[in-house]
Amino acid sequence: MANGSTGTVLTSTRAVWYGKISATLKTARTQGVVSSFILMSGVRDEIDYEFIGSFLESAQTNYYWQEHLDYTHSRNVSLSDTFENFHTYEIDWTPDSVTWSVDGQASRVLKRDDTYNATTKNYDFPQTPSFLQISIWPGGLASNPEGTRNWAGGYVNWDAEDIKDPGYFYVTLKDVKVECYDPPSTAQKSGDKSYKYTNLNGLSGDVEISGDDTVLGSFEAVGFDMKKGSDENLATVAGSVPTGVGSSNHQSAQNDENVADASVVSISSKATSTASLADVSGSAQKTTTSKSESLANVSGSDSKTTTKAASATGSEASSSTDAANSAAATSTANGGFEQSTTTTTGAVNANSSNSGDKLVVGGILATAMLAMALLI
């Protein structure tokens, strides 16, 4: 998160409908800086780990149902310094419960039965296909509501040690593991490509595993109008503007002969486009599987970067030293997820100017804009 920026969100492009998901990471530090590891669905069901940069001996666990902002659900977990030490944070999510575990030790269990709302006669329990998101964002941004700033520990100090060297706040991500569970036995099923909602109530019973495609026809298209803005022959895509072209960049095709005309942008053939996006389309899981991905395998890195990423996967052991729970971290999580949704394109790279093994995520991955797994 560079000086004055709104940080980074790293998101999966496939949704999980129940499973065991973990991330091994070091958080950012400094007041007002928030690190997050969460599951988020299309109807805003949410399961969280959040970390306040000035309370490094505490992790906050939380959940929301369809974005109902009940902040009384937050609970803290005490652990050793989250900036200095790798910890593995796990969410074990089933139709009946959510278990938060740190370094293999269960720290909190939420039972679905305990979330029953007698007024609505619904279970206020996260229950819809969700994306994995890891982020760093400025909760202490001056433009945020006062409650959010207070929860984040105060205003961000943009003159802090990490801004001076290496030049940004950062989260160090070692790996992510996703083990998908089978969908509910009662789930509607008409295919195996995608999830979609059949009712605006947005409950588990309203989710269908469908055969619908998930690749949008253009940047204008949305889940309920997949072909909006597209050309059937895919020779051109009206209204689709490649990164770097547009008024917000003070750049246009008319003043740069090297940039294609934004109104007629050539793209790959239909077959090529489908193949290139098929693996990020949000397909429903077919069976119980386990997958581990290391950032050592991120493509596009030079040899030095790859070496650093590989060494990061095993060079530091997690500390199991317990620390006293920070009383200050129990402050109300008022608006804790109000992060920016700026859609600039970014990449994953290593800090080549430093001798450490920090992995830096710069910008927001825009791939998910093209591959919608939740079709409304």
Average pLDDT estimate for 13-19: 95
Q: What's CA 159's distance to the chain center, in Å?
A: 27
Concerning whether 46 is annotated as a catalytic residue, the answer is yes
CATH number for the segment(s) 8-184+284-375: 2.60.120.200
What pLDDT digit, counting tens, does each position of 306-349 carry? 233 333 333 333 333 333 323 223 222 333 333 333 333 333 33
Q: Between 147 and 300, whose confidence is greater?
A: 147
What pLDDT digit, counting tens, does each position of 238-296 carry? 333 333 322 333 333 333 343 332 222 222 222 322 222 233 333 333 333 333 333 33
Active-site annotation holder among 46, 57, 90, 208: 46
Query: How much is the pLDDT for 336?
Result: 33
Instruction: Calculate the alpha carbon distances from 210 to 196, 223, 227 in Å.
Output: 7, 13, 18
Structure tokens at 279: 């693996």
Q: Between 259 and 219, whose confidence is greater?
A: 219
What pLDDT digit, counting tens, does each position of 38-47 carry? 999 999 999 9
Average pLDDT estimate for 202-214: 93
Q: Between 356 and 187, whose confidence is greater?
A: 187
Concerning whether 179 is annotated as a catalytic residue, the answer is no
pLDDT band of residue 303 (cuts 50, 70, 90) is: very low
Q: What residue spans in the chain does CATH classification 2.60.120.200 cover?
A: 8-184+284-375
Which among 97, 99, 104, 169 has a CA at the least distance from the CA of 140?
Answer: 169
Q: Which residues pair with 24 in a beta bridge?
A: 88, 175
Query: How much is the pLDDT for 227?
Result: 87
Average pLDDT estimate for 77-81: 96
Instruction: Calculate the alpha carbon distances from 23 to 100, 176, 178, 289 in Å.
Output: 12, 4, 9, 17
pTM: 0.64
Active-site annotation holder among 50, 57, 90, 208: 50
